[in-house]
Each structure stands twice: as structure tokens, then as C-alpha cells.
Structure 1
Amino acid sequence: MSPQPQAAVGAPLTRVDGRLKVTGQAKYAADLPDARTTSRGGTPIIDGVVHAVVVDSTIARGRITGIDTRAADALPGVLGVISHLDRPALAYRDNPGAWLDPFVGERLHVFQDDRVRFFGQPVAVVVARTLEAAQHAADLVKVSYDAEQPVTDMTASGVPENDPLPQQNYTRGDPEEALASAEVRVEGTYRLVRNHHNAMEPHATVARWDGAKLTVWDKTQWVLGARDELAAVFGIPPEDVRVLSPFVGGAFGNALRTWPHTTIAALAARQIRRPVKLVLTREQLYYGVGYRPAYEYGLRLGSTRSGRVTAADHRIRAETSRYENYAEGAMVPGQMLYATPHVRQAYRTVPLDVNTPTFMRGPGYSTAAFAIESAMDELAHELGIDPVELRLRNEPQEDPSNGLPFSTRRLRECLRTGARAFGWRRRDPRPRSRRDGDWLIGMGMAGGVYDTLRMRSEARVRLDAEGTALVQASTSDMGPGTYTSMTQLAADALGLTMRTVRFELGDSTFPAAPPHGGSQTMAGVGSAVQDGCDKLRRQAIELAVQDQRSPLYGADADSVVVRGGRMHVSGNPSRGETYRQLLARNGRTHLETRGTFTPSADDRYSMYAYSAVFAEVAVDRRLGLVRMRRMLGVYDVGRIINPKLADSQALGAMVGGIGQALLEHTVTDHRDGRIVNANLADYLVPVNADVPDLKAVYLDGEDRHADPIGVKGLGEIVKVGVAPAIANAVFNATGRRVRDLPITSETLL
């Protein structure tokens, strides 16, 4: 078969939805309703929307003894106050379709009883004709409690741990004996505080009932997950729920789950019999949705004097809520990143009076990387071996955790390419050896790994008589540029230009797609789009070569390619015709097909993406202030569909890693469970002045074992390894080994 020309894939194209976003025409959930806007799926304009404001608990544990709504009810414009006292019974059926569900237990049942499980738990909702009236009325609702002393500090003595799940213990070899006989040992406990996502767009929901059918406009990374959860909560068929989310203004994982506010909006709309709009405040984002949990990660490494790591003992503790047990993939890197024959891991969750944690960019892997890559740096310093060389000496030939060959593993190339490009040879291994005036200069590096996740996906492809194409899938776009990358794939596969292809997403009535997280969208949805477009192109070519009136009649279908909407014989451009001509002559209004992708159930390869991150910092020797000077990331992520979009992901993750390493820190008052810095003035995130020269390099290649289009996923791996690279650079600059994040000036003074 003649290869189809590639014009769009691999090009650094600008986002197709960029103009909509910078001109304010892209409508997010909180922007609705809008008189100029309907959903792309044809849902009518939302009329008569009223506003809801959640009343949050002011204790972290106890019972509600009373709710006084008299002042709120008397306020003009107030339509109602809903709480558990109204007994709005909800089905809360099991939701077996939850994605790789790490949430063991039972999700919060809103307004179903008088129990308070965490500070900020929704205890009531006020609905009013205007937002201002709803806000005022919410302040007037008086809630009384029988409070109990909460436990919110996982480091407090005597705090019990959950019983381990079967997958939370792992052993190979004899790690205790190997550690005892190791020529060199390093040991440390690494602590990471809770981080919150703090995306620019707050969580928001607009809910409307039409009889027994529910339509929800929501900020979500998974419209099908939101559909199924709402159906389970309200006890209605999934086909009676439609979820729309055409634009997401950042999420980083916390929109992968349907949180209580979405249920509250739908419940209020049903009770009030009006469409309801509910937008969480910035403060409520610290309680109403999940977060990256705090960790305590103890690690012991044993090694030969030549730098062969022989043993590793990982002791991991992470916070979770009492009503659910959230556990993430923090154990995988310790099992397979390096060739360590003797490994033991124990992962324990600590149940607290807090709301449930959730996925945050690089979940589990970025946490583990901080401990593992910091410990590897400590070992390199102890041995007097260059940190890059130490990692090269411990490269496995196959996956140590299961013996499978790697589909691709180019970490060695990432390390060498990064060291060369960053000028690593100029690094002085002696701490405090480089200065620039009052600044101590240091360089550090870290490796990283992330799972190549793939799930079944579908896409609908339609070629219209005008020669334009429409491609649809129920995926999301929270920032990586899904609209653009899918358009690129479709344009090349169909032989069309970018401007003649439209990709639509964010509608639960579209073909099924997996969650928009875990770096799986390009692999799954992209492969389904490729499959559907290949099928449709083939369908058009077959129609032409069998049409006696076509210039392509009798041609070998495998020899026909399409460029610019025109089919022609490869090597003979003069023999051909356009899609438009073909469809018009045959009286066709359109051609349509569906693409699918199903990953093999019999995986014979270990599939991961890899990174090597290099950082240079300056530390004020008097004040302990850390300033980033430059950073480089080198990635083995398979085929790059759009280098400009890839850079957006990689550089953004580096900025996030700077925040994790140096700034971000959720502070809880353990007396009552209140988060005291629940705002963007006190919860510090990097700004322009904090961000240095950043650069990303992608190894040329592809992984056809992973999926038909050869990608491995990019959005998560680019966060893994950033924080330890910075911490290791701080050690090189100062000689102070900081094992707690964030690294503050107080820890360096």
C-alpha cells in the first residue's frame, strides 16, 4: 500500500481553538448560559438559570445538630435551602465503570445524613435568582454542630494505618540480607506535603432536568465518567444523562472524578425545577475536590563500591480520607526504574478526617521519583561517582519487576543527550564549590518513568459532500491541545488540509473515549481517529476505483493516495479526482465510519515513557533563597504529533515541578482541620519571575508496540523527576541535603 502523505503530523502547528480562547469565544462551564452560544452537539440555549451556593461545614468531624435557614429564606430572590433535613433521597448505586478505581470505600453521600467527615464538607445549598442573593443567603444559614476532635496530621504519634491492599506489599530477592551485606548504604525519609491543583478555571456545573432526563454542562476530564456517576447517584439510566464539556481551563487530574458539587447542582435543579448553575469559590476548591496527598517515604539503598545498587527497601505512608481509601501507583518506579535484584516495598495509607485525595499530574510516580532520585544522588555523592554515571551503571536489560522486554527504553540515551546538551561536564561534584557573587551555584539531575497507559477508544468520522470532514469522540481537552492533535491526525489520514477538518469532543453522546488523564488520550483516541480516517479514506478510494466514470476506475486501490482532498495514483498525480467530485457524481451526501482502538490483552512488553531532567539553581548564601537558573528535560515518549503542543506540556510541567519543589505547601490547622492558606495569595505557585530558561528535547522515534500511531504519552512523564533534579541541584550548591518539600529558605539557613 502506498504510504499516505504526512503534512500535518509532526509540524509545530498553532492550536485550532486558540483564537476562540484568546478572544473569549470559548465557553467554559462557568460562562454558561450565554445568549450567543449553544453546545456543539445542538443542545438548546439554557433559559431561566438560577444560582446555587454551597454552605460548608466549619468543623472537621462530628454531627450537625441544627440548621437555621429562616434568615436566608426571608431574603428576596431566595428559592430554597436544601440540606439533609429535607431528606432528598438519592440512590447512590455502585458505579462499576469507575476508571482503574483507586478509591476503595464509599464516596461522600451529599445531604444524606447528619455526619460531618471533613472541614468544608457541603452541608447545605442555597438557590436564588441571582448569584449575589445566593451568596448573601448562604452567609445567613446558621449551622450548629456536636463537634469531635479531628485527626488531620498523618505524622502525629499513634495515628493508625489502613490494612494494606494485596498490591501494597512487594518483595523480590532477600532485601534485608542484601542490605546487611551491602558495601555502602544510604538511608533517608523524604516528606512531601499536600499539593492542590489550583487550575485557573474553577469547578463549575450547570444542570437542567427535562422531565426525567438530565443535562449537565460540567468541568470534567471524563464526560462518560460524569454521566455514569450521575446516573448511579440519581438511580436513572445512563442514556438519560447527557454531559457536555467542550472546554476545560486546566485540571491536572482533579476533574477526572465527579465531585459532590456536581451532584448538588443536579439535585438543586430537580428540587427547584429550574436549571441551576453552581461555581465553586477559590477557597472551596481546597475542600470540594481532591488534591495530591501528603507522603512520608522512607528509603534504604544498598550498593557495591563500584555503584551497583543491590538492595532497596521502600516504606511509604500517604494520607487518605476515612470514608475512602485512595492509593496511587507510587510503588512502580521502585520496582523497575533500576536493575536492583533485592527489593521490598510496603505502601500504607493513613485515614484522616479530610476529604479524599485524587490524581495530580504524575500521580504516584512523581512522588516516588523524589525519594528514589534523591537517594540515588545521595548514593552517588557517597560513592564519589557522577550521578549520571551511577544511573547508567544500573540500567536493566529487561523489566526487573516482570522479566518482560521493554517496548522501548531509551533512558540511557536521555541521560547522555541531556548531559551533553546541558553542559553537565562543567558541574563540580564538590558542594559549595561554584559561586556567582553571593549566590551559590549548583547543578542536579534526575531520571523519571511513567506508565504507557492505553484504553479502548472509539471515534466517528464523516466526510461530507463539500469535501470537509467531521471527527467526533467523547474525550476532553484540558490543555494538551486535543482539538489540534486529533485534527492533525485526521487531516493526514484523510488527505485533507487542517482547515477542512473539524474535531469535536466533550459530549457524552459522542463515541466512547477513556478518561482524559494518565497520558492516554493520544494513544487511545488518536489511534481510534487514525483507524476511522483510514477506513473512510479506503472507503472513498474503493468507491472510486469501482466507479466506471471515475478517472481512478480500475486502479489498484493500494496505489491511491489522497492529498488536499484529491485522490490520485501514487506517482501519477494527473490521474485522480477530488472527494467532492466523487460524492457528487454518486449522489452521496456523505460517507461515514467509526474507528476503534483496543489495546492487546496479551501484552508481551513492558511499556513506559522515560525522562532525564537537569536543573541549575542559585542559592543566596546569606538568605537561603533559591532561584532557578535553567532546566532541561529529555524525553523518550515515542512519536511527537505536534512539537509546539509537546513543548507546552513539557515546559508547563517544569513550572509545576518548580512549584512542587520550592513553593507549594498546603497548610492545615490540625486543631479543627481548616486549611489556612486556601487562596492564591498564600498558597504560592510559580509566576513569571520564578521561571528560568526551560528547554525540552524529544528523542526521535516511535513505539508501535504500544499503539498503531507510535506514541507513548507525554503529559505525565514531563512532571516526573523535576522536583528531585531541583533538590539535587540545591545540595550541589549548598551541601545541605533537604529531604522535605517544598525547600524553603528556612531549611537552608
Structure 2
Amino acid sequence: MNNIPSIGTPQNRLEGHLKVTGSAKYAGDYNADDLLYGYVVNSTVTKGKIKSINTEEAKKLEGVVEVFTHDNRPSTAWFDLQYADMDAPPGLVFKPLKDNEIRYNGQPIALVVADTFEMARLAAKKLHIEYEEETFETDLTANLKKSRDPKKGLASLLKPPPPPPKGDFEKAYKNSFIKTDSTFSHGTEHHNPMELFASTVIYEGKGKLKIYDKTQGTINSQMYVANVFGLKMKNVQIISPFVGGGFGSGLRPQHQLFMAVMASLQLKRNVRVTLDRAQMYMIGHRPPTLQHTKFGADENGKVNAIFHEATGETSRFEDYVEIVVNWANMLYPAEHTLLEHKIVPLDVYSPLDMRAPGGSTGMHAIEVTMDEIAYQLNIDPVELRLINYSEIDHTSEKEYSSKELRECYLRGASQFGWDERNPVPRSMKRGNKLVGYGMATGMWDANRLLGRAEAIMSTDGKVEVKSAVTDIGTGTFTVMTQIAADELGLPLEDVTFSYADSAMPFAPIQGGSFTTATVGPAVQAACQALNKKLYKKAKSLKDSVLGDTKLKEVIFQGGYIIHKDNPEIRISYKEIMEANDGKDIRTTNSAMPNPLTYGKKARAVHSAVFVEVEVDEQLGVIEVTRALTAVAAGKIINPKTAESQLLGGMIWGISKALHEETILDHRLGKYMNDDLAEYHIPVHADIHDLQVLFIEENDQFVNDLGVKGVGEIGGVGMPPAITNAVYHATGKRIYDLPIHFDKLL
């Protein structure tokens, strides 16, 4: 009866068995009668116009049903939407097959539909396409003179522009005891989730569609389809219970969704469109970014002047921006700041949020610059951070709702063995390997949005909770079940969390590390409301044992409503439901930030990262031998899934620092390593001893659960910590990511 509270205890993923046995069905796994298959054809030129597309040979192949191009694309309800989806940046969203203009290499220009995938792919090779090519520009470095401030739009609500200048940076910097002046760069990165992008559209007639889509937001895809094709929202159902990795690539509806819906509506058939691996390099990326920092500090290490400038690429049709330069003054209080972010429009597809967008880019430059100051002053890098520690976000001049970063530094350093470090660069060796220690700070937003949830108690006393939220592999399914079970006073096995269906109560896209903080309070609110209804029903029963008991005098535990002071006074949920004439009890509730109080404090997740590297003295090969991340992220609902998220972020941080880079040939305007053979990511042999240390944080301001997100913080501090460790090992400061071994030879 007395079920043990689930929140705060490590729980296995409830869907884990389905995934490891291959039973979980993804968007491309749902079969339907009479299913057609579409294959997307991509432009082989970077800019220009299509003069002609000859489809005759392709259409002659047996099994080919139709070839869609700009010449015969069905009409849609398109108008120049600026925000066709929840993650759209300012600009005019790209419209597949709209006209004959080529805007970037790999642009979808046709869809071949056939009765098998193989036949559709074969027919795609039979199209004869003539282009009129134009001069293009894809090189960020060569076009810096064309940089400009990005347009501001609705997107700036979640991606605020840099704050205005403060004080007199130039004067303060000139008079500083210590001055740094460094430039940084990192190349293009692509998301590369394991699951390919696929949409299976079930045509139900009369403008009704059921769509199994790879997405990070079922309602986002529903809005997109309804708006683009002029359908009623209620007639579009998006289902996505399992997502094989997203990392941001599923925040926006991708080309396969448009193509599959277009073909299904026109042909009145069930249609599946799947992008292959190479085509997934054409749907968004982390943009290459150049950064310039100049920090000034006094003789004691106190930073008094901060300049941080970043320039990233965007497409010609949308102004994609990231929060790159805002972080330094949120961490380190300086009286004089100058922060600038610019973009360069190029002939590429719009970049797309990738795990910790902007944060993992900007914090690299900031934390390496702080390391430079530490070495110039001969101050321990941890001590330098403590000298510049602040409980205030000096961008907004607001106190943090909670900030246990100091404890992250101290306990992280102790557990890592930071005091064993000889601070002199190139002073530590292990055989023929140079050994280096590096550390850095991590930071990410702790936001929440509006979420809704429904709770339904059935006649057997068990509960189903519903929300349209997806689970992209982060453990959302399990965590929401835990929250509901504890609020209802039921064991986990008596609670079912149904999710990832646009027909369920509203949830925003899953990204930004705000999902648990957004949907969790909605689940909590729905379950609390259900408890109240259950209590009210129990009180209404004839000769109710609760008598004159007030709601505040009872607890909901073990499937019973129990009097706090007299546990003998109790009534079971089943008994209450049996008296409810066979009817369920249900409630739907919303949860959102209080607009009157939410902006009164700054909210963030913080981490301290410690890394050990070995660098082969002859070959320059770098290996991260061990790393520790100490994290302060509010209440941890499930330490097991949270640790998994942080370990994944740490591994991606290693990948960003040492492996990942997409190479674009500017003579062709084309990505050259668009496969998993040449796009380098870590393998098991690259990953060694990784540890996560949770620092307890009590924060009742961010939400009633005290929850902050951990999806992105794990990757933010790793690249600079590795870069700083490489400097300590070799005495060479590398400013470009990824770090190639040839720079150390």
C-alpha cells in the first residue's frame, strides 16, 4: 500500500525493453495497405535555375506512379509565412518545389513516387535535369564584409539579442593590467541522429491525415501541415512515440513531411518518404562561427572589461541566429562590456538549432579566454573563476533563482584530483604521452513554457496521463510517469503516461532543455486536480469516512486517501470509483510561468567540467582519458536518465572538440563528407572514464517541482575544458575546433 516516492530515485526507462529488443516502432516502421514510397531528388548545383526536368524515362519504369516537380506540384495554401513552425527564425520559410530557382546545393527539386522504395530511387536516377548556373557564395570567412545585424522577430523571445554596451570598454581595456586578444573558429557540424528522417502518411479521406513523423514536436508538425496545405487542425494527427535521436534536427518540420503529405493528398494514397543519410546533410546544421574576444583584468584576476564578437552564417531567406556572446557577463561581472553578434547570408540552407545552440559555441571562446588570463597571472583556473564569482546575472541585474556553481567548482575539483596538477605547461608526462589538466564552466538557460496535460482515473483506480510531448530519447516518458505517480500516490505500474500524439493536450517542441520544466508542472497540476475531484467524490459518498475532513488534512498515498493525523481514517481509490456509476474521473490542466513574477529572477543551469588528456609527444594524437562534470540543475527527478543525458552531452563535447566537422568545398558549394564514414564521430575506443556529480540545488522559483533541464548543459563546458587541457599538456594554445593533431606537431 505505501508506495515509495519515485522522484529522486534512479528508474530504468519504461520503454527500454521495447527499444533494445527492436520492438519500438519509429516513423518509417508503420506499414499500411497499398503504401507508396517517395524518393526525394536533390539539386546538384548550388545556385541558379532549373531550365527543364525531363521525367519521361522515369515514368516509363514499371511501378512508378508519379513524379512531382515545380511544374506539376499541387497548389497549397502557402503564403509568405514568416513563422510556419515553432522554431522558425525571422525570414521567409523555404517552400519545396515552389519554383525553378535553386537556392542551395542539395535543394529538393523533385519527388518520385513508386510502389517500392527501390523503384522510386532507381527512377530518380533517370530524371534528366538541365540547369542555368549562377555564381554563388558559401565561404563565411571570405564574406565577412557582408555581415550585418540579424533581423529581430518573434524568435528573439527565446533567443534574445546581445545586451547593449555597458560602461566604456575601450578605455577600461586599455588601462587593464592583463589584456587578452584572441580569435576562435569552429566548422560546420551536422546532427546525424541514428534514425533517418521519415514520414508515413495514412490517407483517411475527406482531408483527414494520420501521420507518423520523426519530429521533436507533434503539434508543431500538425500546425505546419495544416497551415501549408489548408487543412483543419483537427483533421491532421501527428504521432511520434519513438524518436531515434533528434539533437535539434527534428525541431523544424523537414522536407520529407511536406513531400509525403503533398503526394498523399494529390494521389489519395498512403505515402512514405524517407531521407537517406546524405540527404540529412541538407536539412540544417550548426553554423560555422568566427569569434573574437578581448578581456581585461586587474592584477588580482578580477575581469573588468569584456569584448565578445561572433559572426555566423545564415541562408539568404532566413536570419538564423544563436545566443553566442551573451554568456560572459551572465557569469563574470564586468563593469565594461561590448557584445556583438552578426550574420552573413550565404547560398546555404538555413542553419538549425543543434544541442546547446550558441552556448557550446560561445562558452568555448569565453572559457579559453579565462584560461589565458589565469596563466598570464599565474592564478589557478578554478581560483580565477571564484574571484569572478557572482550571484547576480549582470546582463539583467537580477539575482539567480539558485546557483550552486561555487560548490560545483569545489567538489568537482576535489573529486577529480585537481590539486595533483603541476600548473606549468608541458610539465606532466606518462611514458611518451604529455598529460594535461583543463577545466571550464558550463552554463545554459533554465526556461519553461506553457504545457497542458490530462489525467484520467478509470474504474479500477489506475490512472492514464496524456500530453502531446515527444520523448526524443531523453527519458521524458519515464520521468513524467514518476511525477504523476508521486502526485497521485500510486506505484509506477498503476500509472500510464500516453504521449507524442498531437490529438493530446498541448506541449511545445522538445528542445532547449525546457521539457521537464514545462510538461512536468502540467502533469503535476492535472494530477493535483484529479486528486481534488477524487476527494470531492469521496466526501459526497453516503456516510463518508472522511466526514468533515478538509483537503489539507489528507494525503494521497498507496491508492488511498488517508487522514494525516489518523491513518485509520482512509478510503481506497477503487472504492471511490466503484461508487461513480462506472464513469471515469478526468481533468485537463495547464501550467505556465507566472507572468507577474517569472521575470524577477535570472534562471540558469551551471556546471564545472574537469578534463585530463594525453597527447602523444611524437604524433600529436589527443585522447581524453578522463573527465568529470559537476552539475547544479535543481531537483533531479531521475538520476539515472539525467546522468545518461549528461554523459551523452560530455561525449558530444569530446566529439565537438576533437572530431566533428563537415567540409564544404567552396568551389562546388557542396558538403563533401556527407556520410558516417567521413564525418568523424567518437567510437567506443575514444571514450574512457566519464563521471557525473550532481550538486543539490533547492529552487522553488523555476517551477513547483524545482526542476531545471540537463539535456544541453553536459556538452557546453567540455570543448573549452579539453582545449585548456591540451594547452596545459603541450604549451600550445589552439583556437580552432575541432583540434587537428597536425597543429600540435
- What is the distance in 2 between the residues matched to 1:335 and 1:604? 18
Q: Which residue in 1 is equivalent to 2:600?
A: 604
- Of the candidates 196, 216, 234, which is equivalent to residue 221 of structure 1? 216
CA contact (8 A) 2:163 2:395 kept: no
Q: Which residue in 2 is equivalent to 1:24?
A: 22
CA contact (8 A) 1:97 1:228 kept: no
Answering whether residue 265 of structure 2 is matched by residue 241 of structure 1, we say: no
- What is the distance in 2 between the residues matched to 1:747 and 1:448? 26
The one-letter amino acid paired with 2:166 is R
Post-superposition offset of 1:22: 1.4
Q: Which residue in 2 is equivalent to 1:65?
A: 51
Q: Which residue in 1 is equivalent to 2:736?
A: 740
Q: Which residue in 1 is equivalent to 2:428?
A: 434
- What is the distance in 2 between the residues matched to 1:201 and 1:431? 43
Change (3 A) 1:544 1:372: same
The one-letter amino acid paired with 1:526 is G
Q: Which residue in 2 is equivalent to 1:726?
A: 722
Post-superposition offset of 1:291: 1.0
Post-superposition offset of 1:158: 6.1
- Of the candidates 256, 267, 270, which is equivalent to residue 265 of structure 2? 270
How many residues align structurally? 733
Q: Which residue in 2 is equivalent to 1:521?
A: 515
Q: Which moved more, 1:669-678 or 1:588-597?
A: 588-597
- What is the distance in 1 between the residues matched to 2:163 and 2:134? 34
CA contact (8 A) 1:545 1:557 kept: no
Paired residue secondary structure (1:106): coil
The one-letter amino acid paired with 1:671 is R
Alignment of 1:378-457 (within 5 A): 378-457=372-451
Q: Which moved more, 1:83-92 or 1:499-508?
A: 83-92
Q: Which residue in 1 is equivalent to 2:116?
A: 130
- What is the distance in 1 between the residues matched to 2:605 and 2:527? 27
Q: Which residue in 1 is equivalent to 2:534?
A: 540
The one-letter amino acid paired with 2:21 is T
Post-superposition offset of 1:686: 0.9
- Of the candidates 667, 671, 679, which is equivalent to residue 675 of structure 1? 671
Change (3 A) 1:608 1:305: same
Q: Which residue in 2 is equivalent to 1:556?
A: 550
- Of the candidates 632, 640, 665, which is equivalent to residue 636 of structure 2? 640
CA contact (8 A) 2:732 2:744 kept: yes
- Of the candidates 599, 621, 629, which is equivalent to residue 625 of structure 1? 621
- What is the distance in 1 between the residues matched to 2:222 and 2:508? 13
Post-superposition offset of 1:561: 1.6
- Of the candidates 465, 469, 493, which is equivalent to residue 471 of structure 1? 465
Post-superposition offset of 1:239: 2.6
Post-superposition offset of 1:97: 6.4
The one-letter amino acid paired with 1:508 is S
- What is the distance in 1 between the residues matched to 2:19 and 2:80? 38
Post-superposition offset of 1:260: 2.2
The one-letter amino acid paired with 2:620 is G
Answering whether residue 475 of structure 2 is matched by residue 481 of structure 1, we say: yes
Change (3 A) 1:96 1:244: farther
Paired residue secondary structure (2:287): coil
Paired residue secondary structure (2:164): strand
- What is the distance in 2 between the residues matched to 1:431 and 1:163? 40
Answering whether residue 130 of structure 2 is matched by residue 144 of structure 1, we say: yes
Change (3 A) 1:158 1:193: closer
Post-superposition offset of 1:572: 3.5
- What is the distance in 2 between the residues matched to 1:164 and 1:332? 15
- What is the distance in 2 between the residues matched to 1:242 and 1:5? 37
CA contact (8 A) 1:108 1:260 kept: no
Q: Which residue in 1 is equivalent to 2:157?
A: none
- What is the distance in 2 between the residues matched to 1:94 and 1:539? 47
- What is the distance in 2 between the residues matched to 1:158 and 1:315? 13
- What is the distance in 2 between the residues matched to 1:199 and 1:381? 39
Post-superposition offset of 1:272: 2.1
CA contact (8 A) 1:12 1:643 kept: yes
CA contact (8 A) 2:442 2:717 kept: yes
Residues 564-621 of structure 1, C-alpha deviations (whole Å, 9 max, x = no match): 2122222543332221111102324211111221102232101111111111000000
CA contact (8 A) 2:55 2:67 kept: yes
Identity of aligned residues (%): 40
Q: Which moved more, 1:517-526 or 1:225-234?
A: 225-234
Alignment of 1:651-666 (within 5 A): 651-666=647-662
Residues 635-662 of structure 1, C-alpha deviations (whole Å, 9 max, x = no match): 1100000000011100010011110000
Change (3 A) 1:662 1:30: same
Q: Which residue in 1 is equivalent to 2:158?
A: none
Q: Which residue in 2 is equivalent to 1:8?
A: 6
Change (3 A) 1:94 1:639: farther
Change (3 A) 1:96 1:598: farther
CA RMSD of aligned residues (A): 1.6
Change (3 A) 1:50 1:99: closer
Change (3 A) 1:435 1:230: same
CA contact (8 A) 2:356 2:716 kept: yes
The one-letter amino acid paired with 2:744 is L
Alignment of 1:275-424 (within 5 A): 275-287=270-282, 289-424=283-418
Change (3 A) 1:145 1:651: same
After TM superposition, the score normalised by the length of structure 1 is 0.96
Post-superposition offset of 1:102: 5.7
The one-letter amino acid paired with 1:47 is D
- What is the distance in 2 between the residues matched to 1:96 and 1:232? 12
Structure 2: which 5+ residue stretches go unaligned?
153-160
- What is the distance in 2 between the residues matched to 1:349 and 1:584? 64
- What is the distance in 2 between the residues matched to 1:418 and 1:235? 54
Answering whether residue 139 of structure 2 is matched by residue 153 of structure 1, we say: yes
Q: Which moved more, 1:156-165 or 1:673-682?
A: 156-165
Alignment of 1:249-264 (within 5 A): 249-264=244-259
Post-superposition offset of 1:552: 2.9
CA contact (8 A) 2:3 2:490 kept: no
- What is the distance in 2 between the residues matched to 1:273 and 1:100? 28
- What is the distance in 2 between the residues matched to 1:80 and 1:175? 62
Answering whether residue 581 of structure 2 is matched by residue 587 of structure 1, we say: yes
Paired residue secondary structure (2:131): strand
Residues 217-249 of structure 1, C-alpha deviations (whole Å, 9 max, x = no match): 101111111111112211233233221111111
- What is the distance in 2 between the residues matched to 1:157 and 1:94? 28
The one-letter amino acid paired with 2:129 is V
Alignment of 1:681-692 (within 5 A): 681-692=677-688
The one-letter amino acid paired with 2:702 is A
After TM superposition, the score normalised by the length of structure 2 is 0.96
- What is the distance in 1 between the residues matched to 2:480 and 2:722? 34
Paired residue secondary structure (1:86): coil
Residues 374-417 of structure 1, C-alpha deviations (whole Å, 9 max, x = no match): 11001111111111111111112421112111101121111111
Change (3 A) 1:11 1:476: same
Q: Which residue in 1 is equivalent to 2:193?
A: 199
- What is the distance in 2 between the residues matched to 1:569 and 1:397? 42
Answering whether residue 694 of structure 2 is matched by residue 698 of structure 1, we say: yes
Answering whether residue 185 of structure 2 is matched by residue 185 of structure 1, we say: no
Q: Which residue in 2 is equivalent to 1:460?
A: 454
